[in-house]
Amino acid sequence: MPTVHTEVDINAPADLVWSVLTDFDKYSDWHPSIQGIALYGPLKENTKGSLSVISKPGASPSQVGMILTEVEPQKAMSWKGGMGPAWLALGFHYHYLEPLPSGATRLVHGETFSGVLFKLLWPLFKDKFDREYTAATAIFKRRCEAMN
């Protein structure tokens, strides 16, 4: 399956990293394509929501339905979602936080894609997604460290 995977050590404690990660209204400050996340309920597994996503610079945001699949404060948050039926295009987006002995936190961040659309078009999108996730992870790291 097509996958994007990043890891970075952040010089900030897991509680601070978690607070930035779950501040959904501020995603546009650090994520190149996610402008915001709306949850239709509490921050817990099986809560539905939507992502406001910009697919290319200057474009209007698209709404992508999602559902939280894992929420463990200061440790893990993941969701799955897509546009249209799952057989067409589905993403599993994950964030894992690992406290380090130094007091820093390792962020493991990425997404696994499935569906006919991604299987067919992945060669065209792979480099774009790799760059975007690498940039988002680096900006997220800088944001957390500036707040620490």
Q: Which two tokens stand for residue 106?
A: 């390792």
Q: Has residue 31 got a pLDDT over 90?
A: no
Residue, of 102 and 55, whose pLDDT is higher? 102
Report which DSSP code applies to 133: H
- Give the CA diameter of the chain: 44
Could you give the domains of the chain? 3-147 (3.30.530.20)
* Residue that wins the pLDDT comparison between 121 and 60: 121
Whole-number average pLDDT of the chain:
92
Q: Are the CB atoms for 119 and 13 separated by under 8 Å?
A: no
**C-beta neighbour count of 42 within 10 angstroms:** 10
Measured distance CA(82)–CA(66) in Å, rounded: 7
Higher pLDDT: 35 or 100? It is 100
Name every residue whose Cβ is closer than 8 Å to that of residue 49 and which is 6 or more positions away in sequence.
Answer: 37, 38, 39, 40, 65, 66, 67, 68, 79
Residue with the two structure tokens 């060669």: 123
Q: What pTM did the predictor assign? A: 0.91
What pLDDT score does 85 carry?
81
pLDDT of residue 17: 98
Q: Residue 69: what pLDDT?
A: 98
Query: How many percent of the chain have pLDDT more than 70?
Result: 98
pLDDT digits (tens, 9 = 90+) for 77-136: 999 998 778 888 899 999 999 999 999 999 999 999 999 988 888 888 899 899 999 999
